[in-house]
Amino acid sequence: MSRMTLLDDSLWLNLTGPHGMSGAGKAPDAGYPPYNVELLPEEPQALRLTLAVAGFAPDELEVSTEDGALSIRGKQREEQSRDYLHHGIAARQFKRSFQLASGVEVRKAELENGLLAIELVRPHKDKRVMKIGISAAG
């Protein structure tokens, strides 16, 4: 059974289901890259998903949505022309996915100081009250 996270009384992301952290503890990179999810106090209908992606350039990252899932991919280019005495920093690649709740949209993504910040918003929809007439059967 998946555990859903409630934020501001509305479902935003499935953080522990088949996309968010599947395989955690199974693969060595299952928790990579680490991330935070924060509410934006100045805007109750928005939140920020921040991933630690130090070493990645903007053109090595891809943020996309498809069928209600947010996917973040990173692939670093390996430089073949260098002659290392010790090569301890590996070029990594990753894919992180999160299932978005219905109506949640990606507003923007920014990379600064090794942190990829993705703002998600659920546009405020006016609550309509509609009275339904009841007719007598017969």
| Alpha-carbon distances, residue 60 vs 43, 54, 57, 74, 118 (angstroms) | 30, 11, 5, 6, 16
- What is the pTM assigned to this prediction? 0.71
Q: What is the pLDDT of residues 65-123, one digit of tens each?
A: 999 899 999 998 877 788 888 888 877 899 999 999 888 899 999 999 999 999 999 87
Taken in order of first residue, the domains within the chain and their CATH numbers are 6-121 (2.60.40.790)
**Helix-strand-coil percent breakdown of the chain, rounded to 5?**
0, 40, 60
Query: Cβ(56)–Cβ(76) under 8 Å?
Result: yes
